[in-house]
Amino acid sequence: MAVAKESSKVKILLEGKLEDGTVFGKTEKDKPVEFIVGEGRMLPKIENAVKGMKTGEKKSIKLEPEDAFGPRREDLVMDIPRHAITLDKEPKVGATLLVKSPEGRTFSATIVRVGKETLRIDFNYPLAGKNVIINIELLSVE
């Protein structure tokens, strides 16, 4: 059985879960993730976990926020005047918005409070600040 090592071309299946078991992402068996170990295309903790795995082996790793989606940043939660935002419908807490920056980049944001004059909007990535569990299955090694 082949063992993954530095410079190996591997195909893996990934499943990402929160600590409460909620699945937030999963690759399909017919669309595995392919990469060369050590090339730096994957999160370092995932690459390190794959090293030493044998074809068919499964492994679970826990990633702290710093190793996954980053820490939650309070400076990314802002009060925006309602008149500065064009909405199709009445804003609701928990609703997701797509916001375009002056540079033209699009960001996802969540409404966390609706006030008369302002909306409190959280621009943090939804998984920022969370520990995550990544389940890995090594399908092949070349």
Chain segment 83-128, per-residue pLDDT in tens: 888 888 899 999 999 888 889 999 899 999 999 999 999 999 999 9
Q: What is the pTM of this model?
A: 0.82
- In terms of CATH architecture, what is 74-122? Beta Barrel (2.40)
Q: Which two tokens stand for residue 72?
A: 């939650």
Nearest to 138 by CA among 60, 58, 61: 58
CATH fold label, 9-69+128-141: Chitinase A; domain 3 (3.10.50)
**Which residue intervals of the chain bear CATH 3.10.50.40?**
9-69+128-141
Where exactly does CATH 2.40.10.330 map onto the chain?
Answer: 74-122
